[in-house]
Amino acid sequence: MASAGDTPDRGRRRFHARALAAALGAPWPLLAAAAGDDERPVTGQWVHAYAAFGRPAYPPEFTHFPYVNPDAPKGGTLYLSNPDRRSSFDKFNYFTLKGEAPAGLMHFMHETLAWRGSDESMTMYGLLAEAMLVAPDKASITFRLHPKARFSNGDPVLAEDIKFSFDSLASPKADPGWQSRMAVVGAAVVLDERTIRFDMKERSNDALFTVGTLLPVFSRKWAPGKAFDEIVTEYPLTSGPCLIDRTEGGRRIEFKRRPDYWARDLPVRRGFFNFDRVVYRYYQDEDIATEAFKAGEFDILRTYSARIFARQHRGPKWNDGRIVKVRFPTETVELLQSYQLNLRRPKFQDIRVREALGLAWDFEQSNRYKTFKQADSVFNNSEFAAEGLPSAGELALLEPYRAELPPAVFGPPYRAPRTNDDPKALRRNLLKARALLEAAGWKLGADGRLRNAAGEAFEFEYVGPGDNVVREIEWGRNLEKLGIKLNIRKVDFALFSRRLQEYDFDTTTIVEGHATLPALGDLLRLYSSKSADEKGNDNYRGVKSRAIDHILAAMGRAETMAQLRDACRALDRIVMWSHFQVPQLYAADIPMSYWNKFGLPAKKPRFFTVSVTQDLEPQLAWPELTWWAKV
């Protein structure tokens, strides 16, 4: 790091000279910072792990994570269902736009340079890389590959393979989502056969973790001679613990554990991947899958329906202990689940209209089984949700844009409309909604329909896959009382995906998932002005806000948890008080049932999930990766 008296440029040159010497083999030990140092990450030296804030929990000599059993027996078969709305698959290249890839590829085949610890907010430990070095200004991150790292064909994992993987995912032939993720990098530079440096366009912790834990690695020999988007049916050539053994008609895929897996004794792998085989079976909908689970066709059932969990997760097999029903609490940040309003539609551009639509949604109608909490924040279940009045740090971010923001941003945090089982509360909310709509120019006609000055009726469409539209029907009934017609259109998942990619919808339900720490890359895709104009991105609402762009940039510069917290809370206030969406609900635990045939580690991690729908976070799949078959 630059010493006192160094100019920034001189310090940077000294850093790069030392880094290059170390990368090319000069002695440079792995250093572990002492506990109790400040929150700023360790940079400018080779380390076994990198923590975004504070210090890694485990030193270089650690042997395993505490949420695994390092001596778990190997063997048996784990049967799983499709973890999301994909009802079939037709390719094995997870990274291209056309077609659907199977679940499990990111869990059991593709590996990354580093592995994110599941009981720390944001720390990555070396996996394919035995060491990493972050520039003091975060302008680059360099990885030294593990000498034992091998692909399944026996080839060593080399820096050229890492560069090939990055270049493929950053190219126009990759899915736009992957291109967007890789856009934080300017270039991947091979320093020698085992050392690679990534020069960063975006100098943030999130960008560094994108390279370390989200860049899936595959061999240069995967389908040689083919353009990346022409790789379809060829099995990936990867370094992970499993291989594809067989598939059946796009409805079943079987992975088998590699006995020669190179990393099985690494600290980040001891106690993981304990099943000899993992089988995914695909079902058309949740009801069919639930019945298949009861029949023993697969082993772990996570449900997203409180009705199904209450009514169908019961019976003789639960009563006699063959099946275990449980709610596992988790500390993950629960991001927003909402009806996202497409602001590209003229009818949604008036904030009073958007607020009125939110007043017509009744949380209590959707929470009959009292299993959910009402969503009030972009960052539910966490310290990043806005609290009280804006802090000095928040005001520093918000004040320059006061004239552009709703006045409520500068007051108490947003709280979604409540009904609380009060039969009169919904009526009060609807009366307030009617006043807002009238102020926005929507008047009730003689036919009972709400119309604008041009005589156009207020009508819009909800589009979504599947048959579970109870919430939408109930919302539609309340909107009907205001003179608004909600048309519900059910489509298959492929068409739904295309319409989202084209931003061709009025409203739909989007579940933004969960995180151990708010991730800048995800938030940029959701809220940045740039992403609103990029089809195939995640800014479904069409949010364009100079204030939000400013706060996202500040989030990327955050060097302490306090700075990150202020930026998140400021963002939270703007998003929620701008009524870009109708917030719904979240769960602070994971409801699931599983066949009583597993051994479980004595401790679970702070952050985890089950049968994850987001294949980008295999580190959180605690049961699939760390449980084992009982003998």
Q: Provide the CATH number for the domain around residue 451.
A: 3.10.105.10
Mark whether 156 and 289 lie in a shared domain.
no
Residue type, 37: D
Mark whether 601 and 620 lie in a shared domain.
yes
In-domain check, residue 82:
no
The confidence score (pLDDT) of residue 19 equals 30
CA–CA dist 152, 221 (Å, integer): 11
DSSP 90: -
pLDDT in tens, 452-490: 999 999 999 999 987 778 789 999 999 999 999 999 999
In-domain check, residue 395:
yes
In-domain check, residue 71:
no
Residue pair 167/174 in contact (Cβ under 8 Å)? The answer is: no
The confidence score (pLDDT) of residue 38 equals 56
Residue 398: how many CA atoms within 13 Å on its side-chain side? 25
Mark whether 602 and 559 lie in a shared domain.
no
Mark whether 385 and 491 lie in a shared domain.
yes
Residue pair 324/104 in contact (Cβ under 8 Å)? The answer is: no
CA–CA dist 27, 198 (Å, integer): 21
Residue type, 46: W
CA–CA dist 315, 275 (Å, integer): 28
Flag whether pLDDT at 388 surpasses 60. yes
76 φ/ψ angles, rounded to the nearest 5 degrees: 80, 180
Mark whether 408 and 505 lie in a shared domain.
yes
The confidence score (pLDDT) of residue 35 equals 36
- E-strand spans in 336-471? 337-341, 373-374, 379-380, 443-444, 450-451, 459-465
Flag whether pLDDT at 510 surpasses 80. yes
Mark whether 515 and 549 lie in a shared domain.
yes
Tokens standing for residue 555: 């989030």
The confidence score (pLDDT) of residue 41 equals 81
pLDDT in tens, 195-221: 999 999 988 888 999 999 999 999 999
Last residue of a domain, one of 204, 230, 256: 230
In-domain check, residue 564:
yes
Q: Which of 565, 561, 533, 541 is nearest to 551 (CA)?
A: 565
Mark whether 35 and 153 lie in a shared domain.
yes
In-domain check, residue 94:
no
From residue 465, how far is each of 342, 359, 492, 508 by CA, in Å? 18, 25, 5, 10
Give the pLDDT mean for 253-276.
97
Three-state secondary structure call for residue 479: helix
In-domain check, residue 155:
yes
Q: Which residues contact 142 (CB under 8 A, 6 or more apart)?
A: 19, 23, 132, 133, 191, 195, 196, 197, 198
Mark whether 268 and 356 lie in a shared domain.
no
Flag whether pLDDT at 573 surpasses 70. yes
pLDDT in tens, 326-361: 999 888 899 999 999 999 999 999 999 999 999 999
Question: Model's pTM, two decimal places?
Answer: 0.77
Mark whether 307 and 348 lie in a shared domain.
no
184 φ/ψ angles, rounded to the nearest 5 degrees: -70, -10
The confidence score (pLDDT) of residue 17 equals 30
Measured on CA atoms in the order 610, 615, 620, 621, is the torsion positive or negative? positive
Mark whether 276 and 208 lie in a shared domain.
no
Domain range spanning residue 493?
A: 333-586
Last residue of a domain, one of 570, 586, 602: 586
Flag whether pLDDT at 2 surpasses 60. no
In-domain check, residue 487:
yes
Query: Is beta strand 77-81 parallel, antiparallel or unpaired with respect to 277-281?
Result: parallel
CA–CA dist 59, 267 (Å, integer): 11
DSSP 436: H
Mark whether 38 and 164 lie in a shared domain.
yes
Give the pLDDT mean for 248-263.
96
CA–CA dist 198, 213 (Å, integer): 13
pLDDT in tens, 28-79: 344 433 333 456 788 999 999 999 988 999 999 999 999 999 999 999 999 9
pLDDT in tens, 98-154: 999 999 999 999 999 999 999 998 999 999 999 999 999 999 999 999 999 999 999
Number of domains present in the structure of the chain: 3
Under the banding of pLDDT at 50, 70 and 90, the label for residue 534 is: confident
Give the pLDDT mean for 167-185.
94
In-domain check, residue 89:
no
Residue pair 489/465 in contact (Cβ under 8 Å)? The answer is: no
Tokens standing for residue 408: 């409520």
Q: Which residues contact 10 (CB under 8 A, 6 or more apart)?
A: 2
The confidence score (pLDDT) of residue 85 equals 74
What average pLDDT is seen over the chain? 90
Mark whether 578 and 493 lie in a shared domain.
yes
Q: Which residues pair with 593 in a beta bridge?
A: 301, 325
Long-range Cβ pairs for the range 185-188 (8 Å, 24+): 185/210, 185/211, 188/162, 188/163
Higher pLDDT, 605 or 612: 605
Last residue of a domain, one of 187, 210, 230: 230
The CATH number for 157's domain is 3.40.190.10
Flag whether pLDDT at 24 surpasses 60. no
130 φ/ψ angles, rounded to the nearest 5 degrees: -85, -20
